Structure 1
Amino acid sequence: MNGLRASRWRVLLLAGLVLGIGTAIALLPGHRGWFDVGVYHGAVNHWVRGHGQLYDYVRPGTEYGFTYPPFAAVCMLPMALLGWYPTIAVNLAVTVAATAFVLYVLIDPIARREGWSRWFSFALAGCLFAMLGPVRDTVSFGQINLVLMALVYLDLWLLERRHWLAGVGSGVAAAIKLTPAIFIGYLLVTRQWRAAAVASGTAAAATALTAVLAPGASRTYFTDALWDTGRVGVLDYVSNQSLLGMVARLNPAHPDRLLWVALVGVVAAVWVRRARRVAWLGDHRAGFALTGVAACLISPITWVHHLVWLAPALVVLADAAPPLDSGDPQARRRLWASIGAYVLLASSLVWLWSGDDRGVVPYVGGNSYVLLALGMLLFLPVGDGRPAHQDDTVDEPVTSRGEIKSGESL
């Protein structure tokens, strides 16, 4: 009877959350009108049906065209068979499926380890995930961020099971868009040699196959479009929450590229050090989360909707917070840090400074997501000794005397 009552309360709670979050999403400003999927759909049709050049396409009334490698366009070729509204519907369906897989990989092991109701944990996580600003923007733009994340986190799932195909997801993602290639870097710096070879081989094979099928588009991309940052957008626009965006907002007319390179070098060094440490501890979940954070910082352009890559770090941070009654002095700090980070990402705060405001407060506020990512990179708690899942297949790290290492935090 108590179990039935608890289930009823869970259903009521979820119904209230779905109603409240659905209403908030419907009423909040920032609906993007499927802009990016419109670019994909228009570019593919221009390329296939109009017999034009892929990278010559510009969406009518805008300055934006196709910016991804040609392999991405090959993957999107089915759009040429679909009308506008069916394309939106398919994009939504694929995004929902990708999101479900990512949440399964991130949340289900925690629910099983803690003995929580798995369906309730998954549904609650889905509600909270949907409220994040980058997630709302990804869906509203019709972007592919969550699909790329699903491909990368397929590798985490395979890596934890020592599957020989680990790496194939990151390879495909890197061939579709260059930013996920940093996850191949993670496999290399943490000495996951087989997975790194699979990822590199997959990316190279996909790119080479595209060069055979579409030599003109491949040549144009790698000799011209890849280097034309003006195709992507304005560097100092507040939506660009990368290190280069932060530097560009100091002097929009002449961004200090040397300062940016120096900051990228520091971030890369910190990421490599921490990634190697967490991999040695067997904590690839924290390693993948750190890598997503580093990708957002290092990429020259990180629009707000790209910040979905920070979501796994939120999960790691929340999971590292012990119960408040545990007596752990870090419990309250970690709990409030995870709540604060979530609220910040859900708030879309940076848009308050989307004009040409100058001054310390507008600058800090307009770079709040960059600062959040830097904080995650430096202070994300990792290696707390918790197994990835109950039937954990990852080797437990040991000291030179064979003792289990646990409770370590960098």
Structure 2
Amino acid sequence: MWRRLLLVGGLATAIAVAIAVLPGHRGWFDIGVYHGAVAHWVAGGELYEWVTWNQYGFTYPPFAAVAMLPMAALPWHATIAVNLALTVLAAGFLLLLLVGPLVRRVGRPRWYAFALAGCLLAALNPVRDTVSFGQVNLLLMALVYLDLWLLERGRRGAGVGIGLAAAIKLTPAVFVGYLLVTRRWRAAATAVATAAAATLFAAAVAPNATRAYFTEALWDTGRVGRLEYVSNQSLLGLVARLDPAHPDRLLWLALVAGALVVWWVRVRVRRAAGSGDERAGFALTGVLALLISPITWVHHLVWLVPGLVVVAAATLPWPPAGPVARRRLRAGIAAYVVLCSGVVWVFANGFGGPYGFLGGNAYLLVAVGFLALLPVRRGASTMVGPVRPAGRRSSSAARVRPRVETE
């Protein structure tokens, strides 16, 4: 007990010190954009005309601004506090949902397992940036993964979370594609209807902002920053870094088409394998969204976290017994270390040569690896029967132990 407390306390302290000491705090920049734009809008200005000193403006659909209206009544520090509280709640929900099955399988105390998982989550560069920018990434993930929770339990209402997330930011709409590919017709219809209803509600409340967004702001890529900047870890960011002056759009479209094909095949394989849960499919879809979006800033890469959990689940029981599981564990640890490292920022001022290519696209390469190699078959399922500690397994538990994959 005491050793576990000391380990958790020491790890939490080390991560907190590293976050406080190492450079990288973003000064709540993004929530400053939300707060400033919404306050300007409430005061009678045009939502999409407001910009910061360095010409960044509000880039989300009008429904996001409607949802953020309470910000206008809050002072600056209170806005930060509310954002932090909501982010912590979203992170807690995601940990319970994603890590909970692993905790049950490894047979460790829940408080200990969740405390370690929380520390590991906080150390990730995308999570650190989400918090210090004051971003909404974890909140959107929580909405999408609420639908995972509903789907796993066969509850009505699945699709509402994806629809709301897509109305707030367009990227989560890719999960509607996942619902269609996996023939979740009711959930897909619910998601589309929810997104449409939210968008129409915003149009009724803010017709001028809606018109400005869909006719001007949506198509103005200059509002979000330079495509070639290393923080953009999308396929278009990769293409732009190959030739910043003239990014090859045809190459980008070819890469996007390739990513879509790989995603479709792997999602279909997951379904054909008869997997009892949707976790690998949701994880793959989050990776796809990161790759095909024109802009994927580092803080957006929190969508890789479910993939890390799927990899961890595919290595159970610990220590892994087979060569496939051991390779997965090593690959998962390597991906986690890269995502914690902040290595892309080393190349923020130059990404030429082979080392610049690898370092400047390191997070993107992890995402590509997840899309191609994430375990999707039944043996990798996070929800296959319980795994008990060695020496305590009953005969009935032994019969439901996941098989070891050989491919």
Output the TM-score relative to the length of structure 1.
0.92
Q: 2:392 corresponds to which residue?
A: none
Asked if 1 retains the 8 angstrom alpha-carbon contact of 2:28 and 2:132, the reply is yes
Asked if 2 retains the 8 angstrom alpha-carbon contact of 1:182 and 1:291, the reply is yes
1:269 pairs with 2:269: no
Q: 1:342 corresponds to which residue?
A: 336
Q: 1:291 corresponds to which residue?
A: 285
Say what the alpha-carbon RMSD is for the aligned residues.
1.7
Asked if 2 retains the 8 angstrom alpha-carbon contact of 1:318 and 1:338, the reply is yes
> Counterparts of 2:306 and 2:126 in 1: how far apart (Å)?
13
1:388 pairs with 2:383: yes
Q: 2:75 corresponds to which residue?
A: 83
Determine which of 149, 163, 185 is the counterpart of 2:177.
185
Deviations 1:29-75 (A, max 9, x none): 111000000000000000002x000000002x211000000000000
> Counterparts of 1:283 and 1:367 in 2: how far apart (Å)?
31
1:237 pairs with 2:215: no
Asked if 2 retains the 8 angstrom alpha-carbon contact of 1:155 and 1:166, the reply is yes
Deviations 1:338-372 (A, max 9, x none): 11000000001011111134212111210111111
Which secondary structure does the structure 1 equivalent of 2:228 belong to? coil
Q: Which runs of 5+ in 1 are unaligned?
A: 1-6, 392-403
Distance verdict in 2 for CA 1:77–1:300, change over 3 Å: same
Asked if 2 retains the 8 angstrom alpha-carbon contact of 1:46 and 1:57, the reply is yes
Q: 1:36 corresponds to which residue?
A: 30
> Counterparts of 2:327 and 2:106 in 1: how far apart (Å)?
21
Determine which of 164, 167, 174 is the counterpart of 2:159.
167
Decide which moves more: 71-80 or 107-116.
Answer: 107-116
Determine which of 37, 41, 52 is the counterpart of 2:45.
52
Q: 2:370 corresponds to which residue?
A: 376
Q: How big is the shift at 1:112?
A: 1.5
Q: Which runs of 5+ in 2 are unaligned?
A: 387-400
Distance verdict in 2 for CA 1:189–1:136, change over 3 Å: same
Which secondary structure does the structure 1 equivalent of 2:149 belong to? helix
The residue identity in structure 1 corresponding to 2:49 is D
Distance verdict in 2 for CA 1:218–1:14, change over 3 Å: same
1:331 pairs with 2:325: yes
Distance verdict in 2 for CA 1:251–1:87, change over 3 Å: same
Q: How big is the shift at 1:324?
A: 6.4
Deviations 1:151-183 (A, max 9, x none): 011111111001111111111000000001111
Q: How does 1:16-165 map to 2 (within 5 A)?
A: 16-49=10-43, 51-59=44-52, 61-165=53-157
Asked if 2 retains the 8 angstrom alpha-carbon contact of 1:95 and 1:147, the reply is yes
The residue identity in structure 2 corresponding to 1:21 is I
Query: Sequence identity, in percent?
Result: 63
> Counterparts of 2:72 and 2:277 in 1: how far apart (Å)?
42
Which secondary structure does the structure 1 equivalent of 2:307 belong to? helix
> Counterparts of 1:87 and 1:292 in 2: how far apart (Å)?
28
1:367 pairs with 2:331: no
Deviations 1:384-406 (A, max 9, x none): 33462769xxxxxxxxxxxx996
